[in-house]
A = this chain, B = another copy of it.
């Protein structure tokens, strides 16, 4: 991402967001409604109310915008997991909190950004930072599951995969239940995760 702070091409933002955020919001909406492949950088700039030149000042291309959006779907949970790791609470309480937090993150936001996880384009190495961050999130799940089960990290692998899968299944559910209640579902998923983990 390039340096920030350059003025907008067509006057100040009317959204109250920074230009960078305007670009991300506009691109997220277009990627999720029109499709990533069908969205041009021109369409993104127009929807964000800026020129293409201004857009390229913030992002080197469409792939960098997609990467930034993908990172937004995992980074907050990784940071929250790191806070939890320093907490004296029992591991089951921490796992419950992480699952509920992560579920709320995926269920919230105007667009279902998690639906971008399945784009074929994500095989490109330019998205390696996203895959690395998601792997880091998986590792925090695995450590918590191992602590809950009193097992090795290796033995905790299958249950941790099931738990993260259950959380990420919200991405698929949002399609069919666009009005699902985030808090309600986050609590149910956390309960189910604990049942899976507790042998």
Contact = CB atoms under 8 A, between A and B. Distances in A.
Give the size category of A's interface with B.
35 or more
B175 A118 contact: yes
Interface in A139-166: 158, 161-162, 165-166
A188 interface: yes
A104 B158 CA distance: 16
A173 interface: yes
Contacts of A134: 176
A129 to B, nearest CB: 15
A168 B172 contact: yes
A47 to B, nearest CB: 15
A170 B165 contact: yes
Given A35-B37, A188-B158, A173 B165 contact: yes
A5 interface: no
Contact of A120 (B34, B121, B158, B166): B34
B196 A173 contact: no
Interface string A114-131: 010111111000000001
Contact of A192 (B33, B162, B170, B189): B162
A71 interface: no
A35 to B, nearest CB: 4
Interface string A164-183: 01101111110111000000
Interface in A183-199: 188-189, 192, 195-196
* Complex A-B, nearest 9 residue pairs according to Cβ-Cβ distance, in ascending order: A165-B169, A37-B37, A115-B118, A169-B169, A37-B38, A35-B37, A195-B195, A192-B196, A168-B172
Given A117-B175, A165-B169, A195-B195, 18 more contacts: A35-B35, A35-B36, A35-B37, A35-B120, A36-B37, A37-B38, A112-B118, A118-B118, A118-B172, A122-B175, A161-B173, A162-B188, A162-B189, A162-B192, A165-B170, A168-B172, A172-B172, A192-B196
